[in-house]
């Protein structure tokens, strides 16, 4: 990959005129281009098989869609990178979109990982459990599943049928008698020897065959074993096998849509309406449906179906292993490049298809129907949310319905592990990607000083806003601030805002009222008397939901900080000692105090601790000694 052209010096040219000025310097190589506005912000990132031909299309003054016309009009400069191949250009484009989040690009706003089922092979008696994140633990992984709920349901079914343990290795090693799961026939109790190593390994093999879709083989094998047990008059064992066969039958009947002709695929369907898009993804593995998830990508202010789907695929599979087959509801423009890119990521062949008939087309139609219904529900919820925001503006004399509401709350126990929380809500409901937590750093604060904590949080929040966007050109600035508290908190926040020169952002304090009952809240605004809303007001319920969500978020952040503090040890401060080495030292010596007293040779004897790290740990605890 080579730099072809850097950003030009400032020029009075704008729009297609400035784009035209770049054409004579461009080549026909593949590459990536960026369109920037007058402030240097990236408006759009695109790829091209032929940079000169692609950019020439933007230089035309007419024949553009409304979206492209707006983008071209705002363009003040461009940047280019040439690549060796078209696939490399596609990969670079996806990386830049994820990093820069340009306004006119399609953006996938939900990048959460998906859970898997892990059959751990760390011990002779395999553990079966839910796993999310990097696949570092030894064992076999099955997934992805659409949600933690789908994994939990499958694990519950597998326990009934195959009686595998789900306890931790530490719990497994410390058991002296069977746990409750053995009593309710959900575990075979390998921890206390109720089943041998070989028999347990057979159960594990059956469970893995089931997760691979070989359910008929498993059921036939169980039926043979039951018949043999009956012939040998081992009626108790035969009855247990009969119960497992029944449980397996129930699992199969509850699997939902189980395609016979599709062993492994992701079904990706798109529906667009009202300027919004919903992408529905169904996960099919081992001829079984492992759930579905809906996504609402930002559509780049008017992109068409092909662009939305292509952008979705590139971003969705950026950190996920693509399946062997991806079924789409609409064709994409660069299917060959996307196939090559995903195949490189997977290390094997990946097929992308838009089926027109048969079972695969039925799967896509089912996903498309779900996408249509999901987007319909979201649009309906958005309409209701819009009505609530209009009511909020009317109730509190705002200039208009707020696009961004920031709600603040604090949480602590007698001043310890104090945390401030901020949640954000707007036309689309709660925007959890914008939530923030603030560890209270003020050393001069009196423990439990809620006013002081709120002052610190708001100071840090708005100092950063003023630094990053002093001209308020981004949607990061709130239209309304809600504070959990009364006149005192509002006065404290007003003082901070005046010091920062931010006096035009409306603020509202929500106090519980005289009896501290929900429904009797009092609202406080700077320089105005407190007032209340009717107890059955939809706006009151809305404000209560906002306050309760902020309270939940702040308490969660506080509990996480407190839990971390409880587990803290002096080893956390030793340079070069991360979680793995810390665990090894604690397991070897039993406590942090014992580590601090250990000799250098003893530290070197710990598995995973090199001579250099041992010396670092020893010097840390014996400095000046």
Domains annotated for the chain, with CATH where assigned, are 2-104 (3.40.1440.10), 116-253 (no CATH), 264-376 (3.30.420.340), 405-564 (3.30.420.340), 570-622 (1.10.150.20)
Pair type for strands 298-299 and 325-328: unpaired
Pair type for strands 480-484 and 139-142: unpaired
Residue 8 has pLDDT above 60, yes or no: no
Report the share of the chain in percent with pLDDT over 90.
37
CB 352 within 8 A of CB 312: no
Band (218; pLDDT cuts 50, 70, 90): confident
Number of other residues whose CB lies within 10 A of the CB of residue 601: 9
Number of other residues whose CB lies within 10 A of the CB of residue 528: 10
pLDDT for the residue 561:
73
- Averaged over 433-461, what is the pLDDT? 81
Report the share of the chain in percent with pLDDT over 70.
90
CB 353 within 8 A of CB 326: yes
Supply the DSSP symbol for 320: S
CB 524 within 8 A of CB 486: yes
Residue 523 has pLDDT above 80, yes or no: yes
Residue 370 has pLDDT above 70, yes or no: yes
Residue 190 has pLDDT above 90, yes or no: yes
Choice among 6-15, 102-111, 222-231, 583-592 with the minimum mean pLDDT: 6-15
- Give residue for tokens 């799967």: 363
Determine which helix (DSSP H) or strand (DSSP E) holds 407, and give its type and residue range.
strand 405-413
- Averaged over 298-326, what is the pLDDT? 89
Specify burial of residue 322 (Cβ count, 10 A radius: 0-12, 13-18, 19+).
Answer: buried
Residue 618 has pLDDT above 80, yes or no: yes
Classify 378 as helix, strand or coil. Answer: helix
d(CA 553, CA 548) in angstroms, rounded, equals 9
Choice among 82-96, 499-513, 581-595 with the minimum mean pLDDT: 581-595
Averaged pLDDT score across all residues of the chain: 85
- Give residue for tokens 């600035």: 477
pLDDT for the residue 565:
61
Q: Which of 70, 60, 79 is nearest to 17 (CA)?
A: 60
pLDDT for the residue 256:
46
Largest CA distance in the chain: 94
- Averaged over 345-370, what is the pLDDT? 94
Contacts (Cβ under 8 Å, ≥6 apart) of 311 = 97, 105, 106, 107, 108, 297, 300, 303
Exposure string of 430-469, with b = 16+ CB inside 10 Å and e = fewer, is beeeebbbbebeeeebeeebbbbbbbbbbbebbeebeeee
Determine which helix (DSSP H) or strand (DSSP E) holds 303, and give its type and residue range.
none
- Give residue for tokens 């997977």: 346
Band (10; pLDDT cuts 50, 70, 90): very low
Band (447; pLDDT cuts 50, 70, 90): low
d(CA 431, CA 421) in angstroms, rounded, equals 14
Choice among 208-222, 264-278, 479-493, 523-537 with the minimum mean pLDDT: 208-222
Tokens standing for residue 557: 């952040």
pLDDT for the residue 511:
87
pLDDT for the residue 4:
44
Q: What are phi and psi of 142, to 5 degrees?
A: -130, 125
Sign of CA dihedral 440, 444, 447, 452: negative
Band (254; pLDDT cuts 50, 70, 90): very low
pLDDT for the residue 468:
84
Residues 480-515: pLDDT tens digits? 999 988 888 888 888 889 988 888 899 999 987 655
Q: How far is residue 30 CA from its own chain's centroid?
A: 33
- Averaged over 330-342, what is the pLDDT? 93
């Amino acid at each position: 990959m080579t730099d072809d052209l850097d950003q030009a010096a400032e020029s009075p040219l704008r729009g297609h005129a400035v784009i035209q000025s770049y054409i004579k310097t461009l080549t026909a190589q593949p590459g990536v281009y960026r369109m920037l506005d007058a402030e240097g912000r990236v408006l759009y990132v695109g790829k091209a098989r032929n940079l000169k031909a692609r950019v020439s299309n933007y230089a035309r003054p007419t024949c553009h869609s409304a979206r492209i016309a707006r983008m071209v009009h705002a363009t003040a400069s461009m940047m280019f990178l040439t690549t060796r191949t078209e696939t490399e250009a596609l990969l670079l484009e996806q990386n830049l979109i994820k990093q820069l989040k340009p306004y006119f690009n399609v953006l996938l706003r939900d990048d959460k990982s998906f859970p898997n089922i892990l059959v751990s092979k760390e011990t002779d008696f395999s553990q079966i459990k839910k796993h999310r994140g990097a696949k570092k633990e030894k064992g076999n992984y099955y997934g992805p599943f659409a949600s933690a709920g789908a994994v939990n349901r499958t694990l519950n079914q597998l326990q009934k049928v195959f009686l595998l343990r789900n306890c931790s290795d530490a719990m497994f090693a410390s058991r002296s008698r069977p746990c409750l799961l053995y009593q309710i026939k959900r575990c075979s109790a390998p921890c206390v020897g109720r089943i041998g190593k070989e028999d347990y390994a057979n159960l594990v093999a059956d469970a893995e065959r089931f997760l691979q879709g070989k359910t008929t083989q498993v059921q036939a094998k169980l039926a043979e074993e039951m018949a043999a047990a009956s012939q040998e008059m081992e009626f108790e064992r035969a009855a247990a096998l009969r119960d497992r066969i029944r449980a397996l039958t129930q699992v199969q009947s509850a699997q939902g849509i189980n395609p016979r002709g599709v062993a492994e695929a992701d079904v990706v369907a798109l529906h667009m309406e009202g300027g919004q898009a919903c992408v529905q993804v169904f996960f099919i593995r081992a001829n079984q449906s492992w759930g579905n998830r809906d996504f609402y990508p930002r559509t780049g202010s008017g992109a068409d179906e092909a662009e939305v789907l292509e952008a979705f695929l590139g971003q969705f599979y950026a950190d996920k292993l693509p399946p062997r087959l991806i079924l789409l509801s609409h064709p994409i423009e660069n299917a060959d490049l996307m196939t090559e890119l995903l195949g490189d990521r997977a290390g094997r062949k990946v097929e992308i298809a838009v089926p027109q008939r048969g079972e695969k087309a039925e799967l896509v139609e089912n996903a498309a129907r779900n996408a249509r219904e999901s987007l319909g529900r979201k649009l309906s919820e958005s309409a209701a949310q819009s009505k609530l925001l209009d009511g909020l503006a009317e109730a509190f004399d705002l200039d208009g319905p707020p696009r961004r509401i920031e709600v603040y709350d604090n949480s602590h126990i007698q001043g310890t592990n104090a945390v401030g929380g901020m949640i954000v809500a707007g036309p689309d409901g709660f925007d959890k990607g914008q939530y923030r937590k603030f560890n209270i750093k003020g050393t001069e604060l009196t423990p439990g000083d809620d006013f002081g904590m709120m002052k610190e949080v708001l100071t840090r929040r708005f100092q950063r806003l003023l630094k990053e966007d002093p001209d308020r050109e981004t949607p990061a600035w709130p239209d309304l601030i809600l504070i959990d508290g009364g006149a005192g908190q509002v006065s404290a926040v007003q003082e901070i805002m005046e010091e920062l020169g931010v006096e035009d952002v409306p603020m509202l304090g929500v106090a519980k009222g005289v009896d501290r009952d929900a429904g009797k809240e009092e609202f406080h605004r700077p320089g105005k008397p407190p007032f209340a809303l009717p107890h059955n007001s939809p706006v009151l319920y809305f404000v209560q939901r906002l306050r309760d969500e902020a309270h939940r978020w702040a308490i969660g952040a506080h509990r996480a900080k407190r839990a971390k503090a409880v587990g803290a040890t002096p080893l956390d401060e030793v340079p070069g000692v991360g979680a793995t080495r810390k665990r090894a030292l604690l397991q070897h010596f039993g406590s942090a105090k014992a580590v601090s007293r250990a000799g250098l040779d003893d530290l070197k004897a710990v598995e995973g601790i090199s001579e250099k790290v041992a010396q670092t740990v020893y010097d840390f605890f014996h400095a000046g000694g």
